[in-house]
Amino acid sequence: MDKVYVEGMRFYGYHGAFQEETKLGQRFYADVVMEIDTEQAGNTDDLDDTVNYAEVYEAAKEVLEGEPVKLVETLTARTASLILERFAIVDAVTVKVKKPDPPIPGHYDGVAVEIRRERGFEKK
Protein backbone atom coordinates (compact mmCIF):
# COMPACT_ATOMS: atom_id res chain seq x y z
CA MET A 1 0.00 0.00 0.00
CA ASP A 2 1.20 3.49 -0.81
CA LYS A 3 1.67 6.07 1.94
CA VAL A 4 1.02 9.79 2.12
CA TYR A 5 2.79 11.70 4.91
CA VAL A 6 1.76 14.99 6.53
CA GLU A 7 4.45 15.64 9.13
CA GLY A 8 5.50 18.25 11.64
CA MET A 9 2.12 19.90 12.11
CA ARG A 10 2.18 22.26 15.10
CA PHE A 11 -0.76 23.28 17.25
CA TYR A 12 -1.55 25.00 20.54
CA GLY A 13 -4.12 23.33 22.77
CA TYR A 14 -5.42 23.23 26.32
CA HIS A 15 -5.15 19.51 27.02
CA GLY A 16 -3.70 17.73 30.02
CA ALA A 17 -4.28 16.02 33.32
CA PHE A 18 -3.04 19.00 35.35
CA GLN A 19 -4.96 22.24 35.92
CA GLU A 20 -2.11 24.46 34.70
CA GLU A 21 -2.11 22.63 31.33
CA THR A 22 -5.79 23.33 30.72
CA LYS A 23 -5.40 26.93 31.90
CA LEU A 24 -2.16 27.95 30.18
CA GLY A 25 -2.17 25.59 27.21
CA GLN A 26 0.85 24.17 25.43
CA ARG A 27 2.28 23.04 22.11
CA PHE A 28 1.39 19.76 20.42
CA TYR A 29 2.99 18.29 17.30
CA ALA A 30 1.38 15.76 14.99
CA ASP A 31 2.49 13.46 12.20
CA VAL A 32 -0.01 11.59 10.02
CA VAL A 33 0.75 8.71 7.66
CA MET A 34 -2.16 7.58 5.47
CA GLU A 35 -2.18 4.31 3.58
CA ILE A 36 -3.95 4.81 0.26
CA ASP A 37 -3.77 3.63 -3.32
CA THR A 38 -2.12 6.52 -5.16
CA GLU A 39 -2.13 4.91 -8.62
CA GLN A 40 -5.19 6.84 -9.86
CA ALA A 41 -3.81 10.18 -8.65
CA GLY A 42 -0.44 9.40 -10.18
CA ASN A 43 -2.09 8.77 -13.53
CA THR A 44 -4.60 11.62 -13.54
CA ASP A 45 -2.63 14.32 -11.68
CA ASP A 46 -6.00 15.23 -10.09
CA LEU A 47 -6.27 16.28 -6.44
CA ASP A 48 -9.73 14.67 -6.26
CA ASP A 49 -8.03 11.25 -6.63
CA THR A 50 -5.96 11.57 -3.44
CA VAL A 51 -6.05 13.35 -0.06
CA ASN A 52 -5.77 17.10 0.19
CA TYR A 53 -2.93 17.84 2.63
CA ALA A 54 -4.54 21.12 3.73
CA GLU A 55 -7.74 19.25 4.66
CA VAL A 56 -5.72 16.70 6.65
CA TYR A 57 -4.10 19.60 8.52
CA GLU A 58 -7.54 21.10 9.25
CA ALA A 59 -8.83 17.77 10.60
CA ALA A 60 -5.83 17.48 12.95
CA LYS A 61 -6.24 21.11 13.99
CA GLU A 62 -9.90 20.53 14.80
CA VAL A 63 -8.92 17.88 17.34
CA LEU A 64 -5.64 19.27 18.69
CA GLU A 65 -6.90 22.83 19.12
CA GLY A 66 -10.42 21.71 20.00
CA GLU A 67 -12.23 20.42 23.05
CA PRO A 68 -9.79 19.89 25.93
CA VAL A 69 -9.05 16.30 26.97
CA LYS A 70 -6.73 14.86 29.59
CA LEU A 71 -4.70 12.35 27.59
CA VAL A 72 -2.45 12.43 24.55
CA GLU A 73 -3.90 8.98 23.82
CA THR A 74 -7.34 10.57 23.41
CA LEU A 75 -6.03 13.27 21.07
CA THR A 76 -4.26 10.67 18.95
CA ALA A 77 -7.25 8.32 18.72
CA ARG A 78 -9.66 11.16 17.88
CA THR A 79 -7.38 12.45 15.15
CA ALA A 80 -7.11 8.99 13.57
CA SER A 81 -10.88 8.48 13.74
CA LEU A 82 -11.60 11.86 12.16
CA ILE A 83 -9.19 11.22 9.28
CA LEU A 84 -10.79 7.84 8.53
CA GLU A 85 -14.23 9.47 8.74
CA ARG A 86 -13.40 12.39 6.42
CA PHE A 87 -11.25 10.68 3.80
CA ALA A 88 -12.84 7.61 2.25
CA ILE A 89 -9.71 6.93 0.17
CA VAL A 90 -7.67 6.27 3.34
CA ASP A 91 -7.49 2.55 4.13
CA ALA A 92 -5.39 2.95 7.29
CA VAL A 93 -3.82 5.82 9.20
CA THR A 94 -0.96 6.14 11.67
CA VAL A 95 -1.04 9.22 13.88
CA LYS A 96 1.67 10.38 16.26
CA VAL A 97 0.96 13.22 18.67
CA LYS A 98 3.82 14.68 20.68
CA LYS A 99 3.66 16.90 23.76
CA PRO A 100 7.12 18.50 23.74
CA ASP A 101 6.89 20.22 27.14
CA PRO A 102 4.94 18.06 29.61
CA PRO A 103 4.89 19.40 33.18
CA ILE A 104 6.94 16.57 34.66
CA PRO A 105 10.49 16.69 36.04
CA GLY A 106 13.45 15.97 33.80
CA HIS A 107 14.98 17.15 30.56
CA TYR A 108 14.00 15.28 27.41
CA ASP A 109 12.32 15.81 24.06
CA GLY A 110 8.80 15.29 25.33
CA VAL A 111 6.29 12.47 25.31
CA ALA A 112 4.35 11.02 22.38
CA VAL A 113 1.68 8.50 21.50
CA GLU A 114 1.50 6.78 18.13
CA ILE A 115 -1.42 4.64 16.98
CA ARG A 116 -2.46 2.92 13.77
CA ARG A 117 -6.09 2.48 12.85
CA GLU A 118 -7.58 0.92 9.76
CA ARG A 119 -10.98 1.20 8.20
CA GLY A 120 -13.44 -1.06 10.00
CA PHE A 121 -11.33 -1.20 13.19
CA GLU A 122 -13.55 -1.85 16.18
CA LYS A 123 -12.39 -2.29 19.73
CA LYS A 124 -14.07 -5.27 21.40
Catalytically active residues are 99
Give the C-alpha separation, 9 to 7, whole Å: 6
Alpha helix stretches (DSSP H) within the chain: 19-24, 39-44, 53-64, 72-86
Give the C-alpha separation, 90 to 3, whole Å: 9
